[in-house]
Structure 1
Amino acid sequence: MTGFARDQLETLVVLVDEGTFEATAGRLHITASAVSQRVKAMEQRAGQILVERSNPVRTTPAGDVVLRLARQVQLVETEALTELGQAGVGEGTARPVIPIAVNADSLATWFLPALAAAAERLDVVFDVRRDDQGYTTAMLRSGSVMAAVTSTPEPVQGCSVTPLGVMRYRAVASPSFLARFRGDGGLASWLPTAPHLDFDRRDDLQQGFLRQLVPDAPALPAPRHYVPTSADFARAIVAGLGWGMLPEQQCGAELGRGDLEELAPHLPADVPLFWQRWNLASTLLDGLTVAVRRAAATSLRAA
């Protein structure tokens, strides 16, 4: 297999980021037919299909490999041009883009200060992708991102892993909610059938807490509300829509004011978090990693 041309690698990155051949053509100032021809040429050289022609497009496993290569080439090239004093010469070289995957609760609590600190020292822009901490490593595997906050300690191939600390969650509810639903018995007698909140269909924190509270109880179809943004999830609990698990950083002030009550102080849920990044010599990734570790050290519990 011969190498890929630089314009082909650039086209693949833009195609994955934009999602369609038409949008890619507009961003690269070429025709959609030219985009298709570049992708076909790459597939001929690879001897495999790289892109599923869906809407939006998706890379195949072979395409994931080439996408990682393309992003690494872009990053290394941009850093080299910067060291040579050539940053800003030519389209797309002014500021490198670092795509990052992060879970919603980290994004809502401690992670943005890390990005702000990194941006003060690095001439870079960030493309933040949000997903559950158990799924962000999939973006690393696909080459969609260069680094991720994840709950997975096993390194993705080609990545290094740094423990960040533990995000502790507390089961909380508002006084108005408790006035409506709290029964005469203990917590385990009424909480499993009371309405709760889930972030999305993959959110297992609330069910995990119930399994700890009542290990032998059968699964019950308790009423649940879905609120898929971290800040609104917290607001919904304060408003009395249901009970739920909140990071300590999101509920400490409300607990102190009496706007929330903790349901079981003896049963916190601890989620270890890790920073996975490409194992690639990069001044930008190194600087970002330092900023992320410092922010985590001041916000998360020690593992």
Structure 2
Amino acid sequence: MEGLDATHLRTLAAVVGEGSFEGAARLLHVTQSAVSQRIRALEAAVGQVLVRRSRPCRATPAGEPLLRLAGQLVLLEREALAEARGPLSGTPGFRSGVGTGTRVAVVANADSLATWFVPALARLPADLAVRFDVRQDDQDHTADLLRDGTVMAGVTAQRTPVQGCRVRRLGALRYRALAAPAPAGRWFPDGITEEALAAAPVIVFDRRDRVQHRFIRAVAGRDLDPPVHYVPSVPAFSEAIRLGLGWGLVPEQLARADVAAGRCVDLAPDRFVDVPLYWQHWRLDSPVLAALTEAVRAAAADALR
């Protein structure tokens, strides 16, 4: 097999990144027919189907390593070009405009996005001029996006590095069990008992969220099946607790204000759930990834346990 065509690899990354052939065509300023021809040519060269023609388009297992390769080539190519062209900036080790035009796809869980992760992105040196493509997924599943090449870095609960990635421990995000004062008195008149936990309605972010069930198991010593409300939005999740729809576990950075204002009570001040978080990123010698990693580690050191 001859070497892979870089244009075809970029097209593969565009199709998966945009989620469709139409989106890739807009991004690359070519026709949809040209995108289709490039993907067919790449699949013919590899001898495998590389893209699932679904909505959104996803890489097949055969396409995942090529998707990672495409993203790495784009990043390194832009950094090398900017370094060759640009004068040294005031930031040691960087050149002005190294990240100009570079879209960096990252993933984090919803609670990290709502608390400490966005401030981490804002810590990057301004002269890198990175454009972020931030994805959201449960911390137990964010590694899947690293594995399939959709993102180049992410916050994850997985301590084992994904193939081709480096992993660094960030700390733990601590969760507190909150409820509105009046419902808390009705649901937990004798405190956090097994009987009360089995009967009281609980707010859960989505069907991948297991934090509440971890808390229940830790307190009751076994799994229970309480009534569940699914509320897949961090602001709406907290609002549902404040309005008495149910109780739930809230990151302590967000819980403090509600408890201090009397809108919520901490159901078990001596009990909490710590979710260890890790930072995984492609194993590349990249100024952008190095700067991003440093910014994420600094923000996590300020915010996490």
> TM-score higher than 0.5 here?
yes
Q: 1:100 to 1:119 in 2, by over 3 A?
A: farther
**Partner of 1:271 in structure 2?**
275
1:282 is the counterpart of 2:286:
yes
- Which of the numbers 89, 98, 109 marks the counterpart of 1:103? 109
**Partner of 2:49 in structure 1?**
49
**Partner of 1:165 in structure 2?**
171
Assess if the C-alpha contact under 8 Å between 2:191 and 2:267 holds in 1: no
Assess if the C-alpha contact under 8 Å between 1:16 and 1:57 holds in 2: yes
5+ long unaligned stretches in structure 2:
88-98
**Partner of 2:155 in structure 1?**
149
Task: Give per-residue Cα distances to partners, 1:26-66, cap 9 Å, x unaligned.
Answer: 33232222211111111111121111122221111110010
1:15 aligns to what SS in structure 2?
helix
**Partner of 1:59 in structure 2?**
59
Compute the RMSD of aligned alpha carbons. Answer: 1.7
Distance 1:120 1:231 in 2: 29
2:124 aligns to what SS in structure 1?
helix
Runs in 1 of length 4+ with deviation above 6 angstroms?
none
Amino acid at match of 1:284: V
**Partner of 1:232 in structure 2?**
236
1:160 aligns to what SS in structure 2?
strand
Task: Give per-residue Cα distances to partners, 1:237-270, cap 9 Å, x unaligned.
Answer: 1221110001110101221222211111222101
Report the alpha carbon displacement of residue 18 of structure 1 after superposing the two structures with TM: 1.7
Distance 1:204 1:147 in 2: 23
Residues 70-89 of structure 1: pairs in structure 2 closer than 5 A:
70-85=70-85
Aligned pairs, how many? 294
**Partner of 1:90 in structure 2?**
none
Name the % identity.
49
Amino acid at match of 1:172: L
Distance 2:100 2:169 in 1: 32
**Partner of 2:95 in structure 1?**
none
More divergent stretch after superposition (230-239 vs 104-113)? 230-239
Report the alpha carbon displacement of residue 13 of structure 1 after superposing the two structures with TM: 1.1
Distance 1:299 1:94 in 2: 29
Task: Give per-residue Cα distances to partners, 1:172-195, cap 9 Å, x unaligned.
Answer: 111022244334576333122111
Assess if the C-alpha contact under 8 Å between 2:166 and 2:280 holds in 1: yes
Q: 1:183 to 1:67 in 2, by over 3 A?
A: same
Distance 2:149 2:261 in 1: 45
Assess if the C-alpha contact under 8 Å between 1:155 and 1:161 holds in 2: yes
1:254 is the counterpart of 2:258:
yes
Assess if the C-alpha contact under 8 Å between 1:119 and 1:125 holds in 2: no
More divergent stretch after superposition (121-130 vs 172-181)? 172-181
**Partner of 1:211 in structure 2?**
217
5+ long unaligned stretches in structure 1:
88-92
2:63 aligns to what SS in structure 1?
helix
TM-score (norm 2): 0.92
TM-score (norm 1): 0.92
Task: Give per-residue Cα distances to partners, 1:115-162, cap 9 Å, x unaligned.
Answer: 011153522111100000000000000000000100100000110011
Task: Give per-residue Cα distances to partners, 1:91-135, cap 9 Å, x unaligned.
Answer: xx9410100010000000011111011153522111100000000
Distance 2:192 2:46 in 1: 63
Distance 1:185 1:266 in 2: 12
Residues 159-198 of structure 1: pairs in structure 2 closer than 5 A:
159-184=165-190, 187-198=193-204
Assess if the C-alpha contact under 8 Å between 2:192 and 2:267 holds in 1: no
**Partner of 2:31 in structure 1?**
31
- Which of the numbers 117, 134, 141 marks the counterpart of 1:135? 141
